[in-house]
């Protein structure tokens, strides 16, 4: 870890004219910094040479309290730097390097386009284990083999500093990283292994490297596709709502992509208000707005106690501050389940085609409501199955309780916050964990079963635990206040775009068109 030049910026996002300051440590100097926008193409916008950076120790508590390194370099965001994701690469004199990021947002109301993509930077922060630990586990101890997987999960932290670098296998994965999915259905008696065993043996990733960050992952795929197609989209981040709750002012549509798992109060209610007042919201994501977090220390520390919120969050004990504590957004104490504005929740969905979770699943959506506006001109009909060749359904998926109406179509069957006017378009089975009957080591254990069952169903009983295991990935839409929501219900939606699946592309075009986006130029 100490052989590379390491660094972190003071900002998650910036606008034209803003200064971005880097804090860094390097074993040797001079260093160089390259700034590049990553979209359909990699466009270098600046390079700074001969930066002198001293070596500084890594504090033992860097994961919780940050590195505390001194300022090393600053630069100004250019007026001609387009909104988007920007890669920062710091290289030492021997060629060793590390990468970080920031987002350029558009603060010029006169030039804003109709839609903004909100980068899932809270999820990046939750998975970041640089310094040893993240919100899931003591990752360093797990990879060193000094603890069991269960012991490593007990070492998760609820305070996560933003002021530190990122582990590079997670942040800028080498080669072509595999997806979090079993690419083929499980064979008889076979233990299914997600991803690529060859890639894992070569690069030795942690179990948390594939679940967050931009490069070569969901948001990168979407950025490339939208730009190739000719859509114009501005970029924001989760963190922008901490500074400016009105970050969506001037936009007609907001969207999230891939794995937008961690939302703060500021972001959650800003987005919900935006929809209620007539905005459009698109979730090409799964496991969306699942965990409630907050930011402290002027936006430098994210608090995410997750399952342990009732016990470890200092705001929980006092009823007057409990509404600001951290836990599941669907926890009854908050009275704000995420399905209220998303239509769906991971509580009623789960995993598909990963490890032993629906390991022989179709990895596809089955079409039910073939007359829904999202399917216009798709050549899709009731009972058609789409996306199995991608595979489209995998990793994490959102859903709702299901019942069937007299018309033979699936309807929402209750559930925390699930709107009665939800229109279910397509679905496929998903589960929150691997079966206890599985003979193989658990890759996807059911975390904190008692809490999850109590939150979801009000009481922890064997019957309710069984219900947790029988969910669905759901594609749906609904009117929400004066606005409208489309929810693709899966982390993997954009891989249908990457595969140029004609059904997924056409549905995506239909959604973007209905919500005000038009193609400026046609991709080939």
The span from the CA of 129 to the CA of 167, in Å, is 7
Report pLDDT digits (tens) over 4-56: 999 999 999 999 999 999 999 999 999 999 999 999 999 999 999 999 999 99
343 contacts 423 by C-beta, under 8 angstroms: no
At 359, is the secondary structure helix, strand, or coil?
coil
Q: In this predicted structure, what is the pLDDT of residue 2? A: 60
At 319, is the secondary structure helix, strand, or coil?
coil
What class, spelled out in words, does domain 6-104 have in CATH? Answer: mainly beta
Q: In this predicted structure, what is the pLDDT of residue 408? A: 96
Name beta bridge partners: 85.
Answer: 38, 103
403 contacts 479 by C-beta, under 8 angstroms: no
Question: DSSP of 256-303, one letter per residue?
Answer: EEE---EEEHHHHHHHHHHHHTT-EEEEEESSTT-EEEEEETTTTEEE
Tokens of 105: 């947002």
Report pLDDT digits (tens) over 236-260: 999 999 999 999 999 999 999 999 9
Report pLDDT digits (tens) over 472-500: 999 999 999 999 999 999 999 999 999 99
The span from the CA of 7 to the CA of 97, in Å, is 10
Beta strands across the sheet bearing 6-9: 6-9, 19-25, 71-76
Report pLDDT digits (tens) over 202-236: 999 999 999 999 999 999 999 999 999 999 999 99
Report pLDDT digits (tens) over 383-442: 999 999 999 999 999 999 999 999 999 999 999 999 999 999 999 999 999 999 999 999
Check: pTM over 0.85? Answer yes or no: yes
Question: Which distant-in-sequence residues (6+ apart) come within 8 Å of 243 by Cβ?
Answer: 299
246 contacts 270 by C-beta, under 8 angstroms: yes
Residue 524 has pLDDT above 80, yes or no: no
Tokens of 155: 């070492």
Assign 520 a pLDDT band (cuts: 50, 70, 90): confident
Residue 447 has pLDDT above 80, yes or no: no
Burial of residue 202 (CB within 10 Å: 0-12, 13-18, 19+) is exposed
Question: DSSP of 436-491, one letter per residue?
Answer: TT--SPPSS--TTHHHHHHHHHSS--HHHHHHHT-EEEEEEEEEETTEEEEE--BT
Tell me, yes or no, if the two domains 6-104 and 218-287+339-514 fold the same way.
no
Specify the fold of 218-287+339-514: Rossmann fold (3.40.50)
Question: Which distant-in-sequence residues (6+ apart) come within 8 Å of 50 by Cβ?
Answer: 30, 32
At 357, is the secondary structure helix, strand, or coil?
strand
The span from the CA of 18 to the CA of 120, in Å, is 22
Report pLDDT digits (tens) over 143-197: 999 999 999 999 999 999 999 999 999 999 999 999 999 999 999 999 999 999 9
Q: Tell me the pLDDT of the chain averaged across its residues.
A: 96
Domain map (residue ranges) of the chain: 6-104, 218-287+339-514
The span from the CA of 192 to the CA of 186, in Å, is 6
Question: Which distant-in-sequence residues (6+ apart) come within 8 Å of 257 by Cβ?
Answer: 117, 120, 218, 219, 222, 284, 285, 493, 494
Strands 301-303 and 159-161: antiparallel
């Amino acid at each position: 870890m100490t052989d590379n030049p390491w660094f972190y910026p003071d900002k998650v996002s910036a606008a034209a004219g803003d200064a971005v300051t880097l804090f860094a440590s390097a074993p040797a100097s001079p260093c160089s910094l390259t700034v590049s926008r990553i979209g359909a193409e990699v466009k270098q916008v600046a390079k700074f040479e001969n930066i002198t950076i001293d070596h500084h120790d890594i504090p033992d508590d860097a994961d919780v309290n940050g590195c505390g390194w001194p300022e090393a370099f600053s630069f100004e965001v250019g007026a001609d730097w387009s909104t988007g994701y920007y890669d920062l690469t710091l290289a030492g004199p021997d060629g060793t390097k590390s990468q970080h990021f920031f987002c350029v947002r558009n603060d010029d109301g006169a030039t804003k386009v109709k839609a903004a993509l909100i980068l899932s930077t809270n999820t990046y922060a939750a998975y970041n284990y640089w310094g040893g630990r993240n919100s899931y586990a003591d990752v360093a101890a797990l990879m060193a083999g000094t603890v069991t997987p269960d012991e490593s999960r007990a070492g998760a932290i609820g305070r996560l500093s933003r002021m530190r670098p990122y582990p590079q296998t997670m942040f800028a994965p080498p080669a072509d990283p595999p997806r979090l999915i079993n690419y083929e259905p499980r064979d008889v008696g076979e233990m299914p292994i997600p991803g690529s065993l060859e890639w894992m043996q070569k690069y030795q990733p942690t179990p948390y490297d594939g679940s967050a960050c931009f490069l070569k992952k969901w948001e990168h795929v979407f950025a490339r596709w939208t730009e190739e197609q000719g859509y114009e989209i501005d970029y924001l981040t989760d963190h922008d709502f901490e500074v400016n709750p009105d970050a969506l002012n001037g936009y007609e549509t907001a969207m999230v992509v891939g794995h937008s798992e961690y939302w703060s109060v500021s972001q959650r209610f800003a987005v919900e208000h935006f929809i209620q007042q007539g905005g459009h919201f698109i979730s090409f994501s799964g496991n969306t707005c699942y965990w409630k977090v907050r930011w402290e220390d002027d936006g430098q520390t994210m608090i995410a106690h997750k399952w342990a919120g009732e016990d470890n969050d200092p705001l929980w004990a006092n009823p007057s501050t409990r509404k600001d504590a951290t836990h599941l957004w669907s926890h009854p104490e908050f009275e704000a389940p995420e399905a209220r504005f998303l239509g769906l929740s991971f509580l009623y969905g789960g995993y598909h085609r990963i490890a032993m979770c629906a390991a022989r699943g179709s990895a596809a959506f089955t079409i039910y409501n073939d007359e829904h506006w999202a399917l216009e001109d798709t050549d899709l009909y009731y009972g058609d199955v789409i996306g199995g060749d991608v595979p489209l359904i995998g990793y994490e998926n959102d859903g709702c309780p299901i019942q069937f109406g007299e018309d033979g179509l699936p309807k929402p069957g209750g559930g925390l916050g699930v709107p009665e006017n939800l229109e279910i378009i397509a679905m496929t089975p998903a589960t929150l964990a691997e079966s206890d009957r599985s003979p193989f080591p658990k890759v996807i254990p059911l975390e904190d079963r008692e809490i999850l069952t109590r939150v979801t169903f009000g009481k922890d009983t064997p019957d309710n635990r069984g219900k947790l295991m029988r969910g669905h990935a759901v594609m749906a839409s609904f009117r929400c206040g004066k606005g409208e929501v489309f929810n693709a219900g899966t982390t993997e939606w954009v891989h249908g775009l990457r595969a140029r699946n004609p059904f997924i592309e056409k549905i995506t075009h239909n959604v973007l068109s209905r919500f005000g986006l038009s193609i400026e130029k046609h991709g080939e």
